[in-house]
């Protein structure tokens, strides 16, 4: 029995270590359009602490709680960027979706091909948080709702990035 447990652990430990391979790595660049056809280029944002709040349609319910928590604590000290995963939108509805997003006052990247989601390994059906420091490295990744523990973890990392 002990050998089975040791064997299982030998396989699981490397998986756990690689579960967030992007942490501390240079954030993969992207250059996509938001809902107003404004180019959003990650490299143009270097020098700022950036929080990407990314989701598909199902995950959008969780985004306001993240946005409020971050805005209430940090205001303008961090740059928040919305990202909408629109891979599942049929081509004939793209114009309608884009018009719906134009009602939002904040910039939302329209990720029609799921480029950011694939590159960063983001999850479907939930809100995804990506924290990028001033040097352009990923410092925090989280998929899920703004539970107190997750918000505290994010705040701890943002505070470290702002030092």
Whole-number Å distance between alpha carbons of 122 and 138: 13
Question: What is the spatial distance between Cα 67 and Cα 40, in angstroms, rounded to a whole number?
Answer: 19
Q: How far apart are CA 46 and CA 134, in angstroms?
A: 6
**pLDDT beyond 90 at 9:** no
Q: Return the pLDDT at 20.
A: 60
- The fold for domain 22-162 equals Glutaredoxin (3.40.30)
The DSSP string of the chain is: -HHHHHHHHHHHHHHHHTSSTTTTSBPPP-EEEBTTS-EEEGGGGTTS-EEEEEE-TGGGGGHHHHHHHHHHHHGGGSEEEEEEE-TTS-GGGHHHHHHHHTTSSS-EEEETT-HHHHHHTPPSSS-EEEEE-TTSBEEEEEES---HHHHHHHHHHHHHHH-
- Examine the pLDDT at 14 and tell me if it is beyond 80: no
pLDDT of residue 18: 42
CA–CA–CA angle 91, 95, 99 (5° rounding): 145
Domain spans of the chain, in order of start: 22-162
Q: What is the mean pLDDT of the chain?
A: 89
User: What is the pTM (predicted TM-score) of this model?
Assistant: 0.85
How far is it, in rounded angstroms, from Cα 36 to Cα 142? 27
- Measured from the Cβ of residue 77, the count of other Cβ atoms closer than 10 Å reads 12
C-alpha to C-alpha distance for 40 and 107, rounded to whole angstroms? 9
Q: What is the mean pLDDT of residues 91-110?
A: 94
């Amino acid at each position: 029995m002990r050998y089975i447990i040791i064997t299982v652990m030998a396989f699981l430990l490397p998986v756990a270590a690689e579960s967030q391979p992007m942490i501390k790595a240079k954030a993969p660049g992207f250059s996509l359009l938001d809902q107003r056809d404004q180019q959003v280029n990650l490299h143009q944002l270097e020098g700022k602490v950036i929080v990407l709040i990314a989701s598909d349609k199902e995950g959008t319910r969780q985004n306001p709680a993240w946005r409020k928590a971050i805005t209430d604590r940090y205001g303008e000290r961090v740059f928040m960027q919305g990202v909408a995963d629109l891979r599942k939108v049929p081509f004939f509805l793209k114009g309608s979706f884009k018009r719906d997003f134009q009602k939002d006052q904040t910039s939302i990247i329209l990720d029609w091909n799921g480029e950011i989601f694939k590159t960063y390994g983001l999850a479907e059906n939930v809100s995804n948080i990506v924290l990028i420091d001033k040097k352009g490295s990923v410092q925090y990744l989280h998929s899920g709702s703004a539970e107190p523990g997750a918000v505290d973890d994010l705040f701890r990392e943002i505070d470290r990035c702002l030092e």
